Chains A and B, each alone.
Chain A
Amino acid sequence: MREKLSSLITEYAVNNPKVVILSGDHGYALFDSVRKAAPDQFINAGVAEQGMIGIAAGLARTGFLPIVYGLSAFLPIRVLEQIKLDLCISKLPVLLLGDGAGLVYSTLGSSHQCGEDVAALRPMPGITIYSPADAFELETCFKKAMTSPTGPTYLRIGKSDRKPVHTKLPANDEFSFTKKNSSKTLLLGTGSMSSTALEIATNLKLDSASVMRIKSFPKNLISELSAYEKVFVIEEHHRSGGLFSSVAEELCESGIKNAPRLFSVSLKDQFAEHCGSHDYALSEHGLTNAQIEKLIESRI
């Protein structure tokens, strides 16, 4: 997924001189190819995220297409107000890449971990939020954000070396089923957890789907959910404000008959306790594949 991100950035920069990439002094190797192919279009804005968002807004106002890169712990969390006032109000076409979302930086500790980015951004009027699961989803939403943006877009990039959930580009930028076993239980994943959902669905002969676009919410998803008795929403994000919240809100309001029972499989309301691998960090929240599989088995 990271190689795909690097090549997409380079491809769009080379093909359009109006594309400008700004980084808050992060993502060293990610930008090797674009720095070589289009050196003038890459700007390291320094460890100065607030200023960087304003500068991206100014560039967008003069007709440029900024791609702004940072770690999700800082972009969007540190610069929420800049996203709201500098970008959202004027619907500026700026692509925000929030890397390392969830517990990716497990060994660096809580300052670099981020389970609240989607929740923080969802109420921002006019923003689009993607949470791709693999290189295919990444390509789909990156292209959408760069070619037909309706305002700022946030692309949440979490643990990126998991097994892909697709074998080709998905048909749309919203959601897609990744396993159909005619089960009455659906595992609904997003980002890194789409791979987990697929693996467990395969093991337990359940259905799974991957949600790529969290905002604006894919309306068709709700009618699909009515076919299920139980839906487990799995995300490397806190329960408040993420995919579970989105699905619950939409489902409540939809008034569909025979609405499924929803379960949240998400980060606990706590910070990292000890240091360790990504899998270890997930285990503190009960979110390793084995833990989730066990939980689901006990509930179906």
Chain B
Amino acid sequence: MKPDLSPNTLRKLVLEMAYFGKTVHIPCAFSVVEIVSSLYSKFLRYDAKNPRSEDRDYLVLSKGHGVMALYAAFHQIGWLPREAIEKYFSDGSLLHGLSEAHIPGLEVTSGSLGHGLPIATGVALGFKREAAKSGKAPKRVFCIVGDGEMNEGSMWEAMLFASHHKLDNLTVIVDANGFQAMGKIEDILGMEPFVEKFRAFGFDAVECDGHSLEALGREFEKSVGPSTNGKPRAIIARTVKGKGVSFMENDNTWHYTRLDEQKFTRAIAEVSK
């Protein structure tokens, strides 16, 4: 039976974790929910019984702050027990508030930003080299990065490397929600135009609605199909920070705000519609 990875199911689990764990970063997870949902529903090759399966594609979460969206998906797939959700942040519990490489399903330690994409690039190179020996098509690497994270110079180093070495099995998904920790990206360190920048760095770059499963699916379909131009791909996913809960959407104070009982109930009602 296919796991239920629908966006509302994932958002509900994120809210539960955040409420039980009295933690923050809910909107960072909400903006990537459809991306995560789409990838695990249809495009990533993985083994539901073994998150470290040798044959798996890699999903690298470079923006570690969105990790609750992945925990939610891992729970639905069967990699994390219900206890991990309910005991989030309790003493001696398994899961931290940012991505840690030893957790089943997570591939890198991130949250300190600018680490995931270079590692994803190395993995993509390793897969290409492996494939050149075996004659098979290379396994694929998807890397979710934050638009704020793109401030980091190491991201651009990795992009140069990926295009120079023609890593066409790498797809970078920019969660372009327009915010970073302390405010709007355009007010802090403007990053646009992303599409043109990625293209100038040798990527095949497009943008799409990052909350439309249909639009994301169309783009991911191209990533898993045969490469036609040898270029790594970038999908600039236009998203809303806090998407799915009206009082969180585009309100950056929720980057740091915890749920009380009343807000939790309201939020659960909104994502249960």
Contacts and interface: CB of A to CB of B under 8 A. Distances in A.
B129 A86 contact: no
A84 to B, nearest CB: 9
Classify the interface of chain A: helix, strand, loop or mixed: helix
Interface residues of B, number: 30
Interface in A75-101: 81-82, 85-86, 89-90
B109 A48 contact: no
A85 B161 contact: no
A270 interface: no
Given A58-B126, A63-B126, A90-B101, A51 B115 contact: no
Given A45-B161, A86-B115, A90-B101, A58 B154 contact: no
A17 B114 CA distance: 29
**Listed residue (A17, A86, A89) with the most chain B CB atoms within 10 angstroms of its CB:** A86
**Listed residue (B108, B118, B160) with the most chain A CB atoms within 10 angstroms of its CB:** B118
Nearest to B141: A58
Contacts of B121: 51, 54-55, 58
A92 to B, nearest CB: 10
B115 A63 contact: no
Given A46-B161, A62-B126, A62-B127, A54 B102 contact: no
B118 A55 contact: yes
B112 A58 contact: no
Given A46-B161, A51-B161, A55-B161, A86 B126 contact: no
**Listed residue (A51, A85, A89) with the most chain B CB atoms within 10 angstroms of its CB:** A51
B157 A51 contact: yes
A48 B161 contact: yes
**Listed residue (A52, A61, A63, A64) with the most chain B CB atoms within 10 angstroms of its CB:** A61
A61 B160 contact: no
Contacts of B17: none
A61 B126 contact: yes
B118 A62 contact: no
A50 interface: yes
A209 to B, nearest CB: 38
Nearest to A51: B157
B237 interface: no
A274 B101 CA distance: 46
A57 interface: yes
Classify the interface of chain B: helix, strand, loop or mixed: helix
A58 B133 CA distance: 18
Nearest to A49: B157
A54 B158 contact: yes
A56 B160 contact: no
A53 interface: yes
A79 to B, nearest CB: 9
Contact of A85 (B112, B117, B130, B153): B112
Contact of B123 (A17, A58, A90): A58
A87 to B, nearest CB: 10
A8 interface: no
B156 to A, nearest CB: 8
A221 interface: no
B125 interface: yes
B125 A58 contact: yes
A248 interface: no
A56 B108 CA distance: 13
Nearest to B60: A58
Contacts of B109: 85-86, 89-90
A59 interface: yes
B259 interface: no
Contact of B118 (A20, A46, A58, A63): A58
B115 A59 contact: no
**Listed residue (B122, B130, B154) with the most chain A CB atoms within 10 angstroms of its CB:** B122
Contacts of A61: 107, 119, 122-123, 126
A59 B121 CA distance: 9
Contacts of B124: 58
B158 A62 contact: no
Given A85-B109, A90-B101, A59 B118 contact: no
Interface in B138-160: 153-154, 157-158, 160
Nearest to A60: B122
A102 B158 CA distance: 30
Contacts of A52: 118, 157
A54 B118 contact: yes
A95 B190 CA distance: 38
A153 B157 CA distance: 24
Contact of A62 (B130, B153, B160, B161): B130
B102 A89 contact: yes
7 contacts: A53-B118, A58-B119, A58-B123, A59-B126, A62-B126, A85-B115, A89-B100
Leading 5 A-B pairs by shortest Cβ distance = A58-B122, A54-B118, A62-B126, A51-B157, A55-B122
Interface of B: 100-102, 107-110, 112, 114-115, 117-127, 129-130, 133, 153-154, 157-158, 160-161
Given A50-B157, A57-B118, A61-B107, 5 more contacts: A51-B121, A55-B161, A58-B124, A58-B126, A59-B126
